[in-house]
Amino acid sequence: MATFLVAHGAWSAGWAWKKMRPLLRARGHELCTPTHTGLGERAHLASPNIDLETHIADILGVLQAEDLANVILIGHSYGGMVATGVADRARERIAALVYVDAFAPGDGDSVFSLTPDRRTAMIDAAAKNGDGWKMPPSPMPPDTPEADQAWAIPRRMPQSLKTFEQKLRLHHGELTLPRHYIYCKRCPPDDRFRQFYDRARREGWGHHEIDASHNPHITAPEALAALLDRIAK
The answer to whether the beta carbons of residues 155 and 72 sit under 8 Å apart is no
* DSSP one-letter code for 182: E
The answer to whether the beta carbons of residues 135 and 165 sit under 8 Å apart is no
**φ, ψ for residue 215 (rounded to 5)?**
-120, 70
Q: Are strands 159-160 and 134-135 parallel, antiparallel or unpaired?
A: antiparallel
For residue 220, what are the contacts with CB-CB under 8 A and spacing of at least 6?
210, 211, 212
Catalytic residue among 77, 110, 160, 213: 77
* DSSP one-letter code for 40: G
Is residue 77 annotated as part of the catalytic site, yes or no? yes
| Phi-psi group of 178: left, alpha or beta (phi > 0 → left; psi -120 to 50 → alpha; rest → beta) | beta
- Rounded CA-CA distance 115/122 in Å is 10
The answer to whether the beta carbons of residues 45 and 159 sit under 8 Å apart is no
- Known catalytic residues? 77
